[in-house]
Structures are given as C-alpha cells and as structure tokens.
Structure 1
Amino acid sequence: MKQLYDRYDRLHNYIRISITDRCPLRCVYCMPKEGLPFFPTERVLSQDEIVQMVENFSEMGISKVRFTGGEPLLRSDVVDIVRRVHEIPGIDDISATTNGLYLPRKAAALKEAGLQRLNISLDTFDADRYKKITRGGNIKQVLKGIEVAAELGFMIKLNVVVIKGQNDDEIIDFLNYTRTHNVNIRFIEFMPIGNPLKTWQKEYVGLKSVFDVCAENGLEYEPIELTGNGPSENFQIKDAVGSFGLIHPISNKFCETCNRLRITPDGYVKACLYWDEEINIRQAIPDKEEFQRLIQKALDNKPLNHEMAMADADKVVNKAPTWRHMSQIGG
C-alpha cells in the first residue's frame, strides 16, 4: 500500500474533511459578525465525491477521518456519509467536530452508522456569554447534545478556545468539570486566522495560564496518553473522571509531528492550516492516479511549520496567509 510522506518524512494517515461551510452560529473566532456568503450547493462536494475521495485516500494509507464544517451535522445526508465511509476497508477511525446543537436528534443514528468520537465546541458555561461568543446560540441545546452523546457512549472532547476578557476566567470551571464528567476538555489557543492582527493580539491567551490556574487552586495533575488524532498534550487532575488537554499552536509549536491533510467543502486540499497554499482536487477524484499525484504535490509543498511558529517563511510556496475563515476550512 502506498503511504503518504512529505519532504520532512512525516507520515500522513489522517484527513479532515469539511463537508459544508454552513453553520447556524457566528462564533467570534470562526466567522465575521456579519456572517459569510455560503457556497452554493453545486460548489460543495457531493456525497458520492466524498465517499470516492475517502476510498482513494484509504488506498494511500489514510486510516483516520474527521468530518468538520461549518457545522457538519447540518448536512441532511451526514448519516449516510458516515455509514458509507465506515464501510471502506482500511478506515478504522471516524470522528466529527460539531457545535452540538443537532446531537439530540442525530447522535443515535450517527453512532449506529459508525461514528466513534465527537469534538464539541463549548467555550463557556454561561448562557449569556455563550450567546455572545456564538452570536445567538442557545447553550441549553449544546448541553443536551453532550448529555445524549455521553449516554450513547461516544468518546467526547470539548473544544474551548480561550479568549482574553471573554472566557479566560472560566478555566477553573472547565478544570473542575473534568472531576465528575468523563470528557477531555481541550483548551485551544486563539489563532490569527480570519481575524485582524491587532484584535487577535489583544485577545490571545497563552495556555501556560492553565497550569497557573491549577497552581492557584491547589490542583494536582499528571500527564496522560489519550486515544485520538489531535496535537493536544493531555493531563488528568488527581482523582478526576475526565481529563484536560492543551492545543497551543502559538506558544508551543507542534507542527513537526503534523500528520493531517485538510479538504475544504469546495474540494481543495490544504496541507497546512495557516497558509494560502491549496490545490483543487475535485476534478481528479474519479482518476486515482491523478488524485494521488495532486495529493503528493500538496505534501511536497507543505512547510515544516506555519508562520505562527516559523521565522523562515521562504520555505513556503505561497507566502500569503489563507483567505479562508475557519468555517471555510474546518479547523
């Protein structure tokens, strides 16, 4: 079986596929306040294209697939997509990143179809703050979705983007949540993607603050290993049921171990989240030989680090930061 290596000898076995750019929320780190013009339906990869693409990838050594968006559960055919991908030989890990709003209705069907793990966005426990951060969301729906997913036996990670002045004072609340809930709280650094640099600089919080909060509150913790595809460093508070993880692309780069490719809703492969470098692979999906050539081309152009952690930007083919917002990439 062919395997995918980039020029830094990193083996890639994981793809993140954004199956829609649409989302009912307008989270401050994901989309501008006024929203975005969503792609028309014909511009978004069809179910058959997605399945064929994953079949191609499986023959290239990809074994792990994560569905993202936008909000992936908005697609009416998401359960069918998961079921068909689950049936592809070689694909042994299927997960999704979601805002959780549709889990009460769709979680059971997704579980039956073969979805194994969920990353659910939850940046605050306060209803008013949640409404402000998401620009209109109802936290009760998300909490219900988490409850339903837990009852069904999903492995659950809660994504918390830490932003100064918005939710950084709730770090202790999330840490305490792991004491009684079998979830992994993933604290994520706010990234300068789709946001003005000055705004980002004012709102960025380094995740060393999580350890500071632990020290201030007398919380003992130890490092642990967790199953999954993410770049987080994981820890567990003494006697806690759950755990917490840190994803810090700014303060503590993890690019050297990156094993993932991203597919945008409109059929472009992005080897690096931050840079504008992307290749349209949609037309090549039926042609496995051409598909493999384009994927390898994307890997050959992949830098060792993104700009947020790299001084030598000359190693990047296209030096412009991506024009896409997070909702148009899938994170």
Structure 2
Amino acid sequence: MRSAYGESLVNLGTKYSNIVCVGGDTTDSLKTKKFGEKFPERLFNVGIAEANLVSIAAGLAIAGKISFASTYAAFIPGRCLDQIRNAICYPNLNVKIVVSHAGLSVGPDGASHQQIEDISIMRSLPNMRVLVPADAPSVKKLLEKIVQIPGPFYVRLARPSTEELYPEETDFEIGKGKVVTDGKDLSIFACGTMVSASQKASDTLKKEHGISCRVVDMYSIKPIDADLIYKCTKETGSLISVEEHNIVGGLGSAISEVTSDICPTFVRKIGIADKFGESARDEEIDSLLHKYGLSPKEIVRNALELKKREKK
C-alpha cells in the first residue's frame, strides 16, 4: 500500500501541478521520496514536527494547493489533533492526510507506535472523511478520487505488504462499500488488512461449517454506506465488524450507529478490546494479531458464537 501511495503521488503530481506533499522525516517509509525526486520544489520535509507539518499543509491549501500530509499514524493524528481540528477541519481546507503504520502490525516498536485509536478520533471531526483501503489497487483508485473532491480526507494505510484483492481497473466510490465475497447467512464488514483475513474466515466457515458468509470491504468509514448495511441486515441477518483498531469508536461503532437508527440487529465487533498493544518482531505479527483476536481463526470462532446467539 505504501508503494502504491508513492507511485500514485508521482502520477497525480504529473497531472495536477498544484499538488504538494509535506512529510516528517518518514519520506522513505511513506514512499513520498519518489514524489520529491520528481518534483523537488513540491516536497517539504519539515522533520519531526507533526504539529508544524499539518499546519504548513493547511497554509499551502489556503494558497490554492492540494496538500498531502504524510507520516506514521502514531504521529498524525497522535501528536497534532489540535492543529488538524482547528487549522484543517474547522476551515474545511483541501488537505489529504495519508498515514502509514496504523494498527498492531508495525513491527517491533511496541504500543507507543501502534495507532489503534485514529479511526475513532478522525471520524469524530466535522468535515473529515475517513478511508481505510485494503490493498494497493484500492489505494491508487481512492487517491485519484480524493484529489477531485475538495476538503479534508484521512487515508489509513498499514505497514505490511498486503494481498491484492482487486484488479487494477476496479472502481471505488467514496461513501460506498464493496462486496468481495457474497453469502446469505451472515455479513462480515472489514477494513484494511482485515478484509483478506475475513475472506479466509469466510472460506473456512463455508467449507467446514456450511455457513455462507458475505464479506464487505467497508473502505469508506466516513461517509459510510448505510444503504449497504441495511441491505446486508435484511438479507443476511446479524453482522460482524473486523478492524485492526480499538473496538471503541471504529468501524464497528460506525456500523452500530447505522443499525440502531434504521435496522436493529446483532453486531459482533472484532477488534482490539480497548487495550494497548505490545511489541512483536515482523515474523511474530501473525501471532500477535491472533492473540488480539484478529486472525481468521478468531473471526471464525466469533461467527460461530454469533450464529448460536441468533438461535436462542
């Protein structure tokens, strides 16, 4: 996903001469260095000063630029919420915040660098829209969309390489979700790295338990696809949400806000259970995700429990 971001930024920069990028000593990791090599006068590396980073991006937006602001999710929004709220969202400026290293899967840096509250934080801000793509093709397509839509966006990327779920030509709409696997007994809504995990869980549920599970990539968390949530509730009954994020305020909470208003049903939230993460080497990431309930095996277990609950 990071490589897709870097490539897309170069391509978009070629098409739109008013695109600029502001980074914070993570241009190698975020792959925005490629943009700087192509357009050195349009990349601004401000160092480890995230409050300045987003404020400078806001100033460039006032000057008519499409500003991309990028670093690790632990630092944006982790170290500059005040500036995002008051300098970007309140005046509704054209700043696209694209971050990486979100969730638990950041490697050995531990809880201080595992941003698991950002979806909740960012979707609570007026004017901010929140996207969590699942693979490289969706990153590219969503970036093409957001440069054409004025105003702030928050795009959340993960550190690890991810399985490609979509052909390059697949289209994505802001405010919509996408059914990646159809089913009739249960719907799983996932975002980011958890879409592929949910697909694997759906395969197991079908093969080993005879449960036909619909998997929805809910890459647009704000605005969210209320029509699709309603449709799935009516057609498949109970819902499961899966996210590499705290269960408080994230995708599951956003779905529950919809169901409580228009289509009451059970919503089983699978995520990080309101606790901090812990460190793990790259080769231990799968074990860490399993420990925190985010492996395909844990999704299967939760789905079986939910189906039992439906029968009571």
Q: Which has the higher contact order (CA 8 A, sep 6+)?
A: 1
Do both proteins adopt the same fold according to a TM-score greater than 0.5, normalized to the shorter chain?
Answer: no
TM-score where L is the length of structure 2? 0.31
Greater helix percent: which structure? 2
